[in-house]
Amino acid sequence: MKLRNPIIGAVASLALAGSFGVSAAHAAPTVPSTGGTSLHMVSPSTLASNGDFEIEILATHPVGMCDFYLYRYTSEFGYQYLGYYGGTNTDDLASPSWGYTYYNMYPVDCSSNEGSYTQSPAFYVNNWDNPFSGYSGSYGTVYNSKFYGGSALELFSHGAGAEWNTDCDYNFSVTVGTGPSGGIGTVYLGGGKIGTINFWSKKAGYKKIAFKYGYPSCEYSFVDVVMTGHGKGGGYDAWLDAGQELYN
């Protein structure tokens, strides 16, 4: 999903739809609402060289909601108005420099009635350079200026594995490199399989956010990636570059 408002503080204009089929004189007032404001990582996406990454802000269980106003508080910038958006979600670029952060979302119905805001969980933004530690098979650190921070942990063989012990986070994502010798990595959380990462690409690729996971509350994570399948080129390589967190 593309950012709807990449310039902080800019207001996106939007034409509001009128009510349909009800006389204004007899229409009952509506009060749009949401069950909360939730945060998700965005994958696939790209990690910026400065460590910024894309997150989604969305209404949980919206009722009568057509649009919304969005505000963001950070320790770095204070309280900021981000804009007026259509629908029930939008994206933002999260920066590790923000410090303590949360969002306030004000729902608006299709007749311009505004409801009470809901606040997202408060969080900090973190970007780990080389968060994984290898523990089985063939692995080692490789260096390239195109990796985030200039290096990545590479897994070289079938069965090679690495683990990342995260902070107490609400969301995490994994940034990888890809290439012609890339294979298929299975992702485990606390020993249970939760997905796969395809490290194959025709040409070398860098800073790709290729996997995400989230919780309803803060959790410590033991994230393992194990090479379990070969890619289109027959290889089992993987490049584990960085890890992103929204944590508390």
Instruction: Quote the pLDDT of residue 248.
Output: 87
**For residues 221 and 39, what is the distance between their CA atoms, to the nearest angstrom?**
18
Residue 169 bridge partners (DSSP): 219, 247
**For residues 102 and 98, what is the distance between their CA atoms, to the nearest angstrom?**
10
Q: Which two tokens stand for residue 63?
A: 């009722």
- DSSP per residue over 81-111, as a string? EEEEEESSEEEEEE-TT--SEEEEEEEE-TT
Instruction: Quote the pLDDT of residue 226.
Output: 98
Residue 142 bridge partners (DSSP): 152
Q: Are 4 and 83 in contact (CB under 8 A)?
A: yes
**For residues 16 and 196, what is the distance between their CA atoms, to the nearest angstrom?**
42
Would you call 98 helix, strand, or coil by DSSP? coil
Q: Are 97 and 127 in contact (CB under 8 A)?
A: no
Would you call 27 helix, strand, or coil by DSSP? coil
Name all domains of the chain by residue range, CATH numbers in brackets: 36-122 (2.60.40.10), 126-247 (2.60.120.260)
Instruction: Quote the pLDDT of residue 29.
Output: 59
Instruction: Quote the pLDDT of residue 88.
Output: 98
Note the pTM of the prediction, 2 decimals.
Answer: 0.84
Instruction: Quote the pLDDT of residue 25.
Output: 44
Q: What b/e string do you get for 141-167 counting C-beta neighbours within 10 Å, with b at 16 or more?
A: eeeeeebbeebbbbbbebebbbbbebb
Instruction: Quote the pLDDT of residue 4.
Output: 40
pLDDT means per 10 residues, the chain with 248 residues, are 38 32 47 96 96 97 97 98 98 97 97 96 96 98 97 98 96 98 97 97 98 93 97 97 96
Instruction: Quote the pLDDT of residue 6.
Output: 38
Rg over CA atoms, the chain: 21
